[in-house]
Amino acid sequence: MAGFGFSEHFPGVGNIPAIKPFRRIIRQGRMVLSQIMTSTITPTTEEPHSETNYRSIVEHAIEGIFQTTPDGRYLLANPALAQIYGYGSVGELKGNVKEIARQLYVDPDRRTEFIRLMKEHDAVWGFESPIYRKDGSIIWISENVRVIRGEDGKVLYYEGTVEDITERKRTEEELRRAKTAAEEASRSKSQFLANMSHELRTPLNAIIGYSELLREEAEDMGQDSFTGDLKKIEKAGKHLLELINGVLDIAKIEAGKMEIHAESFDVAAMINDVAATVAPVVEKKGNHFKISAGDNLGTMFTDMTKLRQSLFNLLGNAGKFTEGGMIRLEAERRTESSLDWVYFRVCDSGVGMTQEQAAKIFEAFTQADASTTRKFGGTGLGLAITREFTHMVGGEISVESVLGRGSTFTMRVPAELPAAVPEPVQAVSTPVVDENVELSSDSPLVLLIDDDLTIHELVRRFLQKEGFRTICAQSGAEGLELARKLQPSIIVLDVMMPTMDGWSVLTRLKGDPEVSDIPVVMLTMVDNKEMGFSLGVDDYMLKPIERSGFVSVLRKYCEPHGTPTILVVEDDATTRDMLRSSLEKEHFAVIEAGNGTEGLKQLAATRPAVILLDLMMPEMDGFQFTKEVRAHSEWRDIPILVMTAKDITAEDRARLDGQVSRILQKGACGREELLAEISTRISRATRITITEREVAA
């Protein structure tokens, strides 16, 4: 049992922290089981009587248990495994599955990866892959497997266990979606608040205005009995306006919509202006208001409106919580680490706060305690806004307070708005595209509309490897919304979906001028191409997904890097180099092959926009290569330009006729002509595809 410890790497284990401890327990259990099983059961026909109990464990295990050969056949399987894979019996499973890589794994590369990991580590734990069941449906499994070697070190077989984790994958996907939805909801909430606050201010404007007007008229007419009540309406209206303004500011900050407008101003003048405005409020409760400003304050270049508002908030606050005391505004300019800062300090001798209260005083909708609101009024937003404003102009704010003795708020602001002000606190970043962080935003965006979450995970995974970003929608309605909002490069659509089926989604997509020109590819178990094409679908693919075909269809409609790839099949290295350098100058991507066989290999890996082909080559010549390429349906429409030094005979021409786009004579054809030819072929290829689709429709 060497090399089987838990300190081994666990390749392929998904990382969900909450599940980890449970998984460890399961692993331990499995190891015991695995040890029992492998020490006793051999793939021979001899079954010692004493091992009946162990056999029974394997027979009745809930997890699938297997032994497989390196080339992908079953030596042993238990009934649970057959059941997980959707087969009626172990016999049926073993009889049907002869090549695990292709028949089971949705992504055949998973088997290659599996064998690679086995070579490196002799065991894998939690190796997760999507696989096809017998009926073609897809489930997710997790495998724990180890290698069994002979005395000579050669691999005899693999053995291990399989667990169906489809349900867990579904939960993970749902969690991810819920998170995205929550973030989106939070953003729309802020947007709503911002809009709503504007709407609220309009009628409020009338309420405040008319109550002022009536009060003035009542005073003129000597109707003193009305003026008191009218003043109350006016005051309540103004308070409501203050609340709405606060909510609006917070919403704007959270929605990332608060902007900074820097201007140059005299600090002393600004302070005097603030003091004059705020003095009546601050002095209301018998407070003494004092300003002490240094004489070197000079000018600042920053957002004056936000700075003024911050000072209003701090001073208004001090006035609110101080009675018959002292309120002081201090300002001072200092140079610290070669930067000029202006310090503003607001000190009061008011009620003060405990440390605990001071710690959360800057949070929105939080006052020192709930009773504060009843006693002192206010929104609890002023300090939160002040802090955000201070941060926005590159400054800091802090508070020192002693309960019963008073508080001092210190605001430190750079005299010059820094070039790169830290981003305003943003509640949400763009939600949906986050999952494709590794890919640049100019990678083509694929919108997948399918109710099957397993497909989401699968498609996202392999398209990511191919350089596409993927966004998934679980329903037709969601898909339509995302299509309009994100304008993807291509839409992949399932037919069988609850509430709104793929055909209805397709009809709506094609009927909406905003999205009607986005190519739509059907990906479905329903074989009804005619229906699809008549409704305007651009391509039709059947499930189960055939990976390379799927990718090449997507490539046809959106080239991942926007650069057309040219495959150069040419045996002479000098000619290849020359072609590469002229093509790369024209921003084409170039892949090379030294003969036909290599050319086919390259084709299997990457679909080029055009093939440049030499005829006379060793191993497989251009004629044979052309024949092979045209025999593959997915390569049939790739334009081939033949470049040859050979004198083309009538017989040669006949062999190539209809198979290649054009024959160019080496030497006779210049660089310009070649490039022009390539460009024509690339644009024509797109046109031809469209025409063929129209014909098919």
Residues that bind another protein (CB under 8 A): 198, 201-202, 204-206, 208-210, 212-213, 216-217, 241, 245, 259, 261, 303, 305
Nearer to another protein, 206 or 496 (CB): 206
Nearest distance in Å: CB 395, another protein: 18
DSSP string, 98-128: S-HHHHTBSSTHHHHHHHHHHHHHSEEEEEE
Nearer to another protein, 245 or 366 (CB): 245
Nearest distance in Å: CB 261, another protein: 4
**Residue at token pair 């327990």:** 25
Nearest distance in Å: CB 413, another protein: 17
Query: Radius of gyration of the chain from Cα atoms?
Result: 37
Nearest distance in Å: CB 212, another protein: 6
Nearer to another protein, 61 or 204 (CB): 204
Does 544 sit behind a cis peptide bond, omega within 30 degrees of 0 on the bond before it? Answer: yes
Sheet arrangement for strand 610-613: 589-593, 565-569, 610-613, 640-644, 662-665
Nearest distance in Å: CB 390, another protein: 17
Count CB neighbours of 85 within 10 A: 24
CA distances, 130 to each of 183, 278, 458, 467 (Å): 29, 67, 7, 20
Nearer to another protein, 112 or 305 (CB): 305
Task: Specify the DSSP class assigned to residue 647.
Answer: P
**Cβ pair 664, 643 in contact under 8 A:** yes
* Chain center to CA of 651: 56
Count CB neighbours of 22 within 10 A: 10
Nearest distance in Å: CB 205, another protein: 4
Nearer to another protein, 248 or 523 (CB): 248
CA distances, 69 to each of 79, 151, 157 (Å): 19, 17, 5
Nearer to another protein, 10 or 210 (CB): 210
DSSP string, 481-549: HHHHHH--SEEEE-S--SSS-HHHHHHHHHH-TTTTTS-EEEEES---HHHHHHTT-SEEEESSP-HHH
Percent composition of the chain: helix, strand, coil (DSSP 3-state, to 5): 50, 20, 30
Nearest distance in Å: CB 305, another protein: 6
Report how far residue 278's alpha carbon sits from residue 289's, in angstroms, rounded to the nearest whole number: 10
Nearer to another protein, 88 or 209 (CB): 209
Nearer to another protein, 76 or 208 (CB): 208
Nearer to another protein, 303 or 348 (CB): 303
Nearest distance in Å: CB 530, another protein: 52
Nearest distance in Å: CB 307, another protein: 12
